[in-house]
Amino acid sequence: MLEVDDIHVYRGRTYVLKGISLRVTRGEIVALIGANGAGKTTTLRTISGLLHPRRGHIRYRPEADGPELELDRLPAEEIVRRGISHCPEGRGIFASLTVRENLLVGAYLRRDNRGIEDDYRRVCDLFPILGQRAGQAAGSLSGGEQEMLAVGRALMSRPRLLILDEPSLGLGPLVVETLFATLADINRRGVTILLVEQNAVMALELAHRAYVLETGRVTLSGSGEELAADPEVRRAYLGGA
Amino acid sequence: MGGGYIAQQIVNGLILGSMYALVAIGFSMIYGIIRLINFAHGDVVMIGAFVTLALMQVAGLPFVLVAAGALAAGAVVGVLIERGAFRPMRGAPQVTGFIASLAVSIMLQNLGILLLTAQPRNFTFPAALQKVINAGPVSFRVIDLVIMLSALGLMVLVMLLVKRTRLGMAMRATAENLDVARLMGININRTILAAFAMGSALAGIAGLMWGGKFGQIDPLLGYVPGLKSFVAAVIGGVGSIPGAILGGYILGLAEVLFVGLLPPIYSAYRDAFVFGTLIVILLIMPNGLLGSDKGERA
């Protein structure tokens, strides 16, 4: 579905991604793990078009039997239109907009008002707190509620591929547990997921496959169980044991 | 100094305040979305005034069309300023944008002097608009009433647009976070352009009002109202549209009442008073009356 082929990305003058390649197959949950500064967020921002690679390609096939698109030159607002929804680092909710407005802005490119209302109700079923707080300014929500809002907002564009950048950041263990269960549920309903996580234990448990990034390169890849069992990974990311 | 006199001063202050408020909205909208002050915004008022003069006195169009022309001229100039001076500077340090807009301001003023000469021109509104209405102790001209009511109408319209429409939602989202707005599929270039067009259209129509109120215009007329409207926007909390409106009326009333209520020898200090008000308000409320403390974008 998505193929990242040897991308090299600079942020200003800093050489951040030194040839990253990875694949996401339809229906999968793929995790990127690695230390701070490894290039995880940069990889996601390049896929969704906020950054562009100096070299390399990103190919994306929205429909299983449809044509393939080159994403690496498209601006971000065109990439959303093609079914990739990016839930950014730090959630990026619009604090002064209401909860409902945040969700509606997630469906900004859609014109099917009835479908939008259906999806709005669906998101509120998934995260009941959002429905209860619909008219409240999003900035007044707690961290966990804001994360739910960010995920809900990303779903409002009806993505085929959902990209999540550190959804567990700053959340308590119980909230993370619930959130990850919901992500698995979203995935079962047919949304492919690519996520970056600091919480490698949770990420490897959830993901079908994962890649380990170190200083701008992929150093390891494999199924979630394989990586969770790998001595190197255990030492570096899973706190020894 | 009777109640009638004070009532008259209040009416005068509301007229002046309406114009400051309209111009201040533009400052705030533009600041809200790109975090830059457009120092050329006052000169859009001047262009609106000259376009009014041309359409009314030279072309002889009916008043409604003249007003539409002033709005449109403001919008067009705003779009050109964004494309010419702000977009090429996107991503550059803030100070670069400030300097670019100062340059545009100086350029517009000098272009005006070059093309129109610095000679002030008289601005004559149709007799129907000049008619004086006496309402008890207070008297004003029809044009003054038109200024107050149409300013009010435009303010309501802009607030509805920002609060209730898809474009308004996109503008508010873009104002909060450019990158995340793009991730939602919002074309931020178009949204920023829309903010410039709307804010500048209001400045254009304020130019018509300025001409109608003072009866004389020249190519430098935008400077002082521009500066004072900027003060109004800051008093209200720059970035906030209701704040800009409140600030505009406060400033207009304060200025007129200061001149009207104090002995005449102080009236030459009206501008010192206006800017003094700014300093006092900012000392007490650094974010302005309705501003948030989240001025800097995350």
Average pLDDT of span B289-298: 64
Q: Using one digit for the tens of pLDDT, what is the confidence trace for A151-166?
A: 999 999 999 999 999 9
Q: Using one digit for the tens of pLDDT, what is the confidence trace for B59-72?
A: 999 999 999 999 99
Please check the confidence at residue B293 and state whether its pLDDT lies above 70. no
Please check the confidence at residue A99 and state whether its pLDDT lies above 80. yes
Asked: is B3-284 a CATH 1.20.120 domain? The reply is no
Q: Does the CA dihedral A51-A56-A61-A64 come out positive or negative? A: negative
Q: What are phi and psi of B292, to 5 degrees?
A: -100, 165
Pairwise CB contact (< 8 Å): B187 & A50: no
Which fold does the domain A2-237 belong to in CATH?
Rossmann fold (3.40.50)
CB A164 within 8 A of CB A194: yes
Summary mean pLDDT of chain A:
93
Q: Is B179 exposed, middle or buried (0-12, 13-18, 19+ CB in 10 A)?
A: middle
Chain B CB contacts of A138 below 8 Å: none
Q: Distance, in angstroms, between B181 CA and closest chain A CA?
A: 9
pLDDT at A241: 46
Put simply, whether A184 touches B (Cβ < 8 Å) is no
CB B72 within 8 A of CB B201: yes
Coil/strand/helix, residue A135 = coil
Pairwise CB contact (< 8 Å): A88 & B180: yes
Per domain, the residue ranges of chain B are 3-284
Pairwise CB contact (< 8 Å): A106 & B184: yes
Chain B CB contacts of A92 below 8 Å: 177, 179-180, 183
ipTM over 0.85: yes
Q: Which residues have CB under 8 Å from A161's CB, separation 6+?
A: A1, A2, A24, A60, A83, A84, A85, A191, A192, A193, A194
pLDDT at B226: 94
Per domain, the residue ranges of chain A are 2-237
Q: Which residues have CB under 8 Å from B71's CB, separation 6+?
A: B201, B202, B204, B205
Q: Using one digit for the tens of pLDDT, what is the confidence trace for B206-254?
A: 999 999 999 999 999 999 999 999 999 999 998 899 999 999 999 999 9
